[in-house]
Amino acid sequence: MTARIILWIKTSKMKQNLKCYQVVKKNCFKFIKSQETTKEKFKDKEKMIKSFLIPISYWIAKKTSKKKPLLIGLAGGQGTGKTTISTLILIILKKYFKFKVFKISIDDFYKTRDERLILSKKIHPMLKVRGVPGTHDIGLMLNFFRQVKNKKFKQIKLPRFDKSVDDRCKKKLWYKLDFKPDIIIFEGWCVGAKAEKKINLIKPINRLEKISDKEGIWRNYVNDQLNKSYKKFFDQIDMLLYLKARSFNLLKSWRLKQEKKLEKKVKNKKKNLRVMNKNEVLEFMMTYQRITQQMLKSCMKFSSVILHLNRNHQIKSLRFK
């Protein structure tokens, strides 16, 4: 391929991206503003949209068929910005490409607090804490995918989870999906995670596993869930986008910031708040550590798109497989 042709292709793509950007920027900036605080502002938002999210959206658009919904998984560690990135991609796909898009989080499919309490008594006390595979209602998730693929689509009601009270919302507040989507964005920290080899589960990786899971019952149960029901569910996803941070320690600092934002959002608005303090957040993240670190290592192998994040929480590079 000659240098002239390469230059022509690059110029065409730049014009294409600019055209899309002009159409979507107002809506994207409006959403970004809603996520900012007086102390924390998004940096290089124009570059993020133009250089990364628009190219991803074009890539998704080429793989979308009107015959059946395209199921996109979007994963990343705690605090990587999954909700922000997935929402911006949704805006671009709807506004510019005119696709019918529906987005939901794996977090909305958490078992209720009462269900997790029962699970903690039957299997292991640590299963009372939401987060890891085994604490989601896999039946509801599988049913959702089954219904949305049905040719005779009917309205679907899907759960909504309120983290500030650590429980599922009342049914009147559930999502109502009254159209058959062209694209479904299913985001969550462990979406697409793979089970580990049993031998890797023998040694605890942090203080929580060492003290609270001495016999390895909890981590083996979680791993078994990944190997069985969750694998069945994740195998239905057509492509996986992964937000890759540098390290687990960096994720901890981002997660602490995330909890502070949640605290401000719900302050003085709800009773029985369950917003966590610093020590609770760090202990909570220990339950995520094993799978998160495993995904940081293996994501390059099984993800369709890798979004590399720098220390400042910004996308620094993009890799398609």
What is d(CA 102, CA 58) in angstroms, rounded to the nearest whole number?
Answer: 17
What pLDDT does 151 receive? 83
Residue 293 belongs to domain with CATH number: 3.40.50.300
Q: Which of 216, 212, 213, 214 is nearest to 224 (CA)?
A: 216
What pLDDT does 319 receive? 93
What is d(CA 264, CA 261) in angstroms, rounded to the nearest whole number?
Answer: 5
What pLDDT does 111 receive? 97
What pLDDT does 211 receive? 96
What pLDDT does 265 receive? 59
Alpha helix positions (H), the chain: 3-35, 45-47, 54-63, 82-95, 113-122, 138-149, 207-212, 217-227, 229-234, 248-266, 278-302
Give the mean pLDDT per block of 10 residues along the chain (321 residues): 49 81 96 83 89 96 90 93 95 97 96 97 96 96 92 91 91 94 96 95 96 97 96 94 92 79 57 66 89 90 93 90 81
Give the total number of structural domains in the chain. Answer: 1
What pLDDT does 298 receive? 86
What pLDDT does 40 receive? 76
What pLDDT does 1 receive? 55
What pLDDT does 10 receive? 57
What pLDDT does 277 receive? 76
Provide the residue range defining the domain that includes 48. Answer: 3-320
Apex 160 CA angle, 156 and 161, nearest 5? 155
Q: Which of 246, 254, 307, 266 is nearest to 40 (CA)?
A: 254
3-state SS assignment for residue 177: strand
What pLDDT does 189 receive? 94
What pLDDT does 264 receive? 60
What pLDDT does 7 receive? 45
